[in-house]
Amino acid sequence: MSGWQRQRVILSLHRLILLGGVYAPIVPYKDSSKFSLGSIMEAALPAIHPIVAAGSNRCEAFKSFFGLTYEQMQEKNFTSFRDSLNIDHITKNGNIKYNITAHKRLERFVGTSRDIVVLVHGFLESSDGVMVNGLAPALLKQPGLVVLALDGRKLINLEYFRSSTYARFMGENLGTFLSELIKDGHNPSKITLIGHSLGAHIAGIAGKRVHEVTGKLLSRIAGLDPAGPCFSNVSLAGRLDPGDAEYVDVIHTNGGMLGLLEPVGQKDFYPAGGMTQPGCFLSTCDHSRAWQLFAESITTPKHFPARKCGNWTMFKSGLCSKNEVAFMGFSSKEGPPGTYYLNTGSSLPYGLGPAGSG
């Protein structure tokens, strides 16, 4: 691939990041056996991925030049940061918003014995955006579950490079908030974080902060297509990793482009191979499919069995058909770590049940 072609690929990725956000409408294929843009992208992504990764690895140099690295921002007066970060208590009657420092006020409604799920949105999103609204209604139907959502709309917006650094500060602040709940008596084994894109890394950093402050681990972090650009080959302090909670599971749907391709959890699930998704023409659609699959799994937990396998080619060839099965999504549990693959549909319902596990 020539130099100008590489520049076009990286420029296209940058435009997708800045303009596409984390959601795009799903356009179903009319006939998957015929010519499609998705099939071309699936074939091309293995070649494109090293170029995208190289561009991602240059993020720190770019951010350093403009004073946007984590270390440079630490030196600045960041007193207003917490003022811009909120926690929403999501109820059937709407969201109740609290500042990130108001753990005492929120605790009166949450108590210390109930299970908590914290939803963490991605770039250009919010606590009342499509990802949170896609997951919250089904979660609210779970008995006794408290649903919270981090709201960083004032921080991770418009400019991705700055937002990718802000994500670390947001994670630290969320972790401090959760640590205060734990110090006041809440059991960390009853706290789960679910993060999409940048939100997956925010969740991971929050888990690190909780362990640093309390010496305890959160119950679970579910990473939904963790953001790829600016997060390849960075230190574990700045991204999601398997040690951030008792159980860390990850769903990859746009690996090598808007999401990370490499495993970063204890169990990493790769629906449809994890790079492109059936029924999607744009990377933003592939990227959003992770939370859409998770949302469906809340109400149909047995529809996403996945087979442990070394790679997508082996899975498609039937070489892993006798390997162990693990369920992807809301009902995912601790078990043998590794990479898991499954087939999914191009439109709702995405889950194929046992037929999807090969």
Q: How far is CA 64 from the centre of its chain?
A: 25
Terminal CA-CA length for the chain: 35
Q: Is residue 101 classed as helix, strand or coil in its secondary structure?
A: coil
Whether 224 and 254 have beta carbons less than 8 Å apart is answered as: no
Residue 349: cis peptide before it, omega within 30 degrees of 0: yes
Half-sphere exposure in the Cβ direction for 353 (13 Å, CA) = 0
Which one is catalytic: 163, 197, 219, 232?
197
Q: How many CA atoms lie within 13 A of 44 on its CB side?
A: 14
Q: Which run of H or E residues covers position 117? A: strand 115-120
Catalytic entry in 225, 241, 244, 249: 225
- Known catalytic membership, residue 252: no
CA 119, CA 262: separation in Å to the nearest integer? 23
- To the query of whether residue 225 is one of the catalytic residues in this protein, the response is yes
Selected catalytic residue, list 287, 297, 332, 357:
287
Q: Specify whether 197 is catalytic.
A: yes
- Residue 75 burial (CB < 10 Å; 0-12/13-18/19+)? exposed
Residue the block writes with tokens 């947001």: 170
Contact call for residues 250 and 203 (beta carbons, < 8 A): no
Question: Which residue numbers are catalytic?
Answer: 197, 225, 287
